[in-house]
Each structure stands twice: as structure tokens, then as C-alpha cells.
Amino acid sequence: MGGAALQAQGKLRTIRLVSRPDAHAAALGRSSDRIALRISLRTPSRVLALSPPQHVIIVGAGALGLLTALELHRRGLRVSLIERGLAGRESSWAGGGILSPILPWNYPEPIWRLSRRSLDLYPVLGAELAGQTGVDPEFGRGGNIYDRFFGDPGVTPNPNLGPIDTAPFYAVPINNGDLGTKGGLRCDAQARVLDGGGRPIPHLYAAGNCAASPFGDCYPGAGATIGPALTFGYVAAGDIAARAHEQQRMTA
């Protein structure tokens, strides 16, 4: 691209690339576009200088390809991205978005300075992309149907993200609390607590957070804590009442 240079080991020549009206060109959206790249040799350094293009094709829609396309689009160029799979699902996905070296002290100083520059630019980029796409890159707010259901449908493109700029403003304290637990006493279907051998302990029942969750280590959704507590509390009361009546009948 403009100002870029490529090392060359050849003779002076001009290369003109013209897209053909085939499946590859059709995939770019305009089969009649003519994409030209003029290359000339500059002596005596033997460096190929590229003239500024009007249409840039980027192969690979990873983090680098996507950000390069965004910057070129800002500068008024027409950009086409080519990716054989899903965007951002190859090396960019495997890297997990890591911006800094794992052991920065083992890298040369120029690399660490470049990494620091990336870290400084990331919040700005994240805020810009969130405003344009509605995707929250930091916390993923509004990234699933459950979150969007509780958002404001009048706010687009993300119903969970919006400016707070209209007074009056109110604030409330938010404190941590326990929603539920995956540990607790193991019980049977009558809410009776079991011993180490799996036998019911007489006259001992458990329900709610003091009992092991019937869902194991999963949380299927709202109500998964209070629902079993109410259910097994009711079952335990019914079993206690039934056994009490049976005992009264036998002793009568």
C-alpha cells in the first residue's frame, strides 16, 4: 500500500492484476471491478514501491486483518476481506486476545514498548467498537438472549449499553451475597438426609441451601435455588406428616 516497500530480486517490470468475472470475483461482490497493482523497480536500492490502491483485498479475517480493514476504511479505501472459515476463529481465537508477552522481561525492549502501546490503545478501541457494533469486549454485556431480555429495547444496537446522561441520578449500594450452593447434605427423593452408606438418617431432613443441589454443578437458570427449596421443603413436610400419622395408627 502507499509508502510500503517490498524487497525484490528481479528486473524492472510492471505487473497488472485484473480480477476475472469468476466465482472468486463474484464473492467480492463486483465481478466487473478491475483491481490493479502497479509495481516498479527503484534503482539502485532494488526496492519495489507500490502505488496507493483504490481497492484493497485482505486475506485472513483475524484480529490483524479486521483491524487493518477498519483502518483502511477510515482512510477512504474500499476493502474486501477473504476468510475461508469464521472471522476471528483461527490464531486470534487461540491467542485469546492476549496483548502483552507472557514473560515481558524476556523480550527485547522494542517489543515491550509495542505491547505497552497496544495496551494503551485497547480501551479506546473497545469503546469505539462497542459504540459501532453494540458488542461489549470487556464484560460481554448484552452478549446473550438472557441479558438482552432485561435490557431496554429502545436502545440500539445493544439494549444493555446506553449513556447515563439525563438527571436526576440515583445510586444504591451493591453488596455480594450468596445465591446458592452446590454443596450440602445428600438427600433422597423424600428429602431425607443420607449417611455415608446411602441410608436415610431417621428424623433428619434437609432442603434449600443446606442440601446438595439436585442439579449437581449446573445452574439452569432463575429459580434453580428457590424452586428446589420450596419443592423439597413441601416433600419433607408431607413425608414427616405421613410417618407421624402411621406411627399414631400403629400405637393406637
Q: Which residues of the chain form beta strands (DSSP E)?
A: 5-7, 39-42, 47-50, 55-59, 78-82, 192-194, 200-205
Predicted confidence (pLDDT) per residue in 159-187, tens digit? 998 888 889 999 999 988 766 667 889 99
One domain for residues 246 and 204: yes
Range of the domain at 148: 98-160
Is 93 domain-assigned?
no
Residue 155 lies in a domain: yes
In a domain, 241, yes or no: yes
Torsion over CA: 148, 154, 155, 161 (sign): negative
pTM: 0.44
Cα–Cα distance for residue pair 1/56, rounded to 1 Å: 8
Number of domains observed in the structure of the chain: 2
Among residues 139, 160, 181, which one ends one of the domains? 160
Q: Is residue 64 part of a domain?
A: no
Same structural domain, 145 and 196: no
- 14 falls within a domain: no
CA neighbor of 232 nearest in space, from 216, 247, 210: 210
Write out pLDDT tens, residues 226-243: 899 999 999 999 999 999
